[in-house]
């Protein structure tokens, strides 16, 4: 079985390979392919690649599995042939993304961006801030990352409400959002990007949030309508923290850059030192499962 992975360090992180496995590195950085794509059976594409890299899928007739290193599969759904199994990296990004969510929420509520700007001016800008304790937090997306965020927020003395595509015990359905939003002080987005979630946060969604509420986007940029967000933030009625935008990167002249009630980071929620060890642990487990004829983990179905 021939396997392509995207990082030079990958072979040292995968663990024991099944007998007969040929492991090659294809970084996708324009240096060309390491060998004939026709014999590749398992492919882990470059991280955050936007769909089929250089039309390689058409040159891989023996391909059986595409194992992504990202939690979301939106860039690949619909591109992978029906006889190829598409898997995402659910679980790999739980700790890093949930840390970003908690960090960004605390940073905004405790006014850290303003204090950093004051430090740059050598100004002692004392003043009281908001706090996370006592907040009503609505998490939109009750998957693996949503569960990790829940565990990390529970010690902060908040009340938590979870929303998913469909209701289940302890989780509300997405159709209940109009009723839930007016009672949320913090709204956290961690849904995958699908046709159903594209533009989910529109003008009506934002208008339903109470005055002073904070929107935190750790999902994908297109989940939020940028024009609607810009217009709502311009009123000063609510605030937002985002790790993603639409378009991405945010254009240099966009008004969001200068809004004091908008905290932006450059899609770094999953970019941590522990990413590759966790990602390649998953790749190794998938390879061993495949060789043993076992069902693979994290198989993407209906875009999830």
Per-residue confidence in pLDDT tens, the chain, 304 aa: 999 999 999 999 999 999 999 999 999 877 789 999 999 999 999 876 666 665 899 999 999 999 999 998 998 998 999 999 999 999 999 999 999 999 999 999 999 999 999 999 999 999 999 999 999 999 999 999 999 999 999 999 999 999 999 999 999 999 999 999 999 999 999 999 999 999 999 999 999 999 999 999 999 999 999 999 999 999 999 999 999 999 999 999 999 999 999 999 999 999 999 999 999 999 999 999 999 999 999 999 987 8
What angle in degrees, to the nearest 10, is found between the helix axes of 94-109 and 144-153?
A: 50
Residue 297 lies in a domain: no
Question: Are residues 119 and 163 located together in one domain of the fold?
Answer: yes
Cis? peptide before 172, omega within 30° of 0: no
Residue 171: per-residue pLDDT: 98
- Provide the pLDDT for residue 303: 78
Q: Is residue 301 part of a domain?
A: no
Same domain, 140 and 253: yes
Q: Are residues 163 and 137 in the same domain?
A: yes
**Residue ranges of E strands in 238-296:** 239-242, 262-264
Q: Name the residue with tokens 């993603």.
A: 244
Residues 17 and 147 in one domain: no
Compute how many other C-beta atoms are within 10 angstroms of the C-beta atom of residue 179. 10
**Domain around 287:** 2-92+272-291
User: What's the whole-model pTM score?
Assistant: 0.94
DSSP string over 90-126: TTTTHHHHHHHHHHHHHHHHTTHHHHHHHHHTT----
Domain presence at residue 51? yes
pLDDT for 51: 63
How crowded is the C-beta side of 276, counted as CA atoms within 13 Å?
12
> Would residue 298 count as lying in a domain?
no
**101 CB contacts (<8 Å, ≥6 apart)?**
149, 152, 188, 190, 216, 218, 269
Residue 40 lies in a domain: yes
Count structural domains, the chain: 2
Do 256 and 279 have their domain in common?
A: no
> Is 107 found in the same domain as 62?
no
Residue 58, classified by CB atoms within 10 Å of its CB into exposed (0-12), middle (13-18) or buried (19+), is exposed
The answer to whether position 299 is within a domain reads no
What pLDDT is recorded for position 32?
86
Residues 169 and 84 in one domain: no
Does 296 map to a domain? no
* CA–CA separation, 239 and 225 (whole Å): 15
Residues paired with 153 in a beta bridge: none
Asked, for residue 130, whether it belongs to a domain, the answer is yes
Statement to judge: residues 80 and 145 lie in one domain = no
- The pLDDT value given to residue 46: 87
What CATH number does residue 137 fall under? 3.40.50.720
The C-alpha R_g of the chain, in whole angstroms, comes to 21
The answer to whether residues 66 and 102 belong to one domain is no
Do 130 and 172 fall within a single domain? Answer: yes
Q: Same domain, yes or no, for 79 and 148?
A: no
- Identify whether the C-beta of residue 85 lies closer than 8 Å to the C-beta of residue 294: no
My answer on whether 78 and 106 are in the same domain is: no
pLDDT at res. 205: 98
Active site positions, annotated: 220, 248, 267
- CA–CA dist 12, 19 (Å, integer): 16
């Amino acid at each position: 079985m021939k396997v392509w992975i995207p990082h030079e360090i990958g072979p040292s992180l995968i663990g024991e390979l099944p007998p007969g496995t040929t492991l090659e590195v294809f970084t996708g950085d324009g240096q060309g392919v390491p060998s004939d794509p026709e014999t590749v059976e398992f492919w882990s594409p470059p991280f955050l690649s936007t769909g089929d890299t250089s039309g390689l899928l058409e040159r891989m007739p023996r391909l059986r599995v595409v194992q992504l290193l990202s939690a979301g599969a939106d860039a690949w759904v619909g591109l992978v042939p029906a006889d190829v199994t598409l898997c995402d990296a659910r679980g790999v990004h739980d700790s890093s993304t949930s840390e970003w969510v908690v960090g960004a929420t605390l940073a905004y509520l405790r006014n850290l961006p303003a204090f950093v700007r004051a430090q740059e001016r050598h100004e002692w800008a004392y003043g009281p801030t908001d706090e996370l304790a006592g907040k009503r937090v609505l998490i939109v997306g009750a998957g693996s990352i949503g569960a990790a965020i829940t565990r990390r927020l529970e010690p902060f003395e908040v009340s938590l409400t979870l929303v998913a595509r469909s209701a289940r015990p302890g989780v509300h359905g997405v159709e209940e959002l109009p009723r839930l939003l007016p009672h949320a002080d913090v709204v956290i987005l961690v849904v995958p990007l699908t046709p159903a979630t594209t533009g989910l946060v529109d003008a009506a969604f934002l208008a339903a949030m109470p005055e002073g509420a904070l929107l935190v986007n750790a999902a994908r940029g297109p989940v939020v309508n940028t024009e609607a967000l810009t217009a709502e933030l311009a009123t000063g009625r609510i605030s937002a923290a985002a790790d993603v935008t639409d378009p991405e990167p945010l254009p240099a002249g966009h008004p969001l850059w200068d809004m004091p009630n908008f905290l932006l980071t450059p899609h770094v929620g999953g970019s941590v030192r522990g990413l590759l060890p966790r990602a390649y642990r998953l790749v190794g487990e998938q390879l061993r499962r495949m060789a043993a004829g076992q069902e693979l983990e994290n198989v993407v179905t209906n875009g999830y």
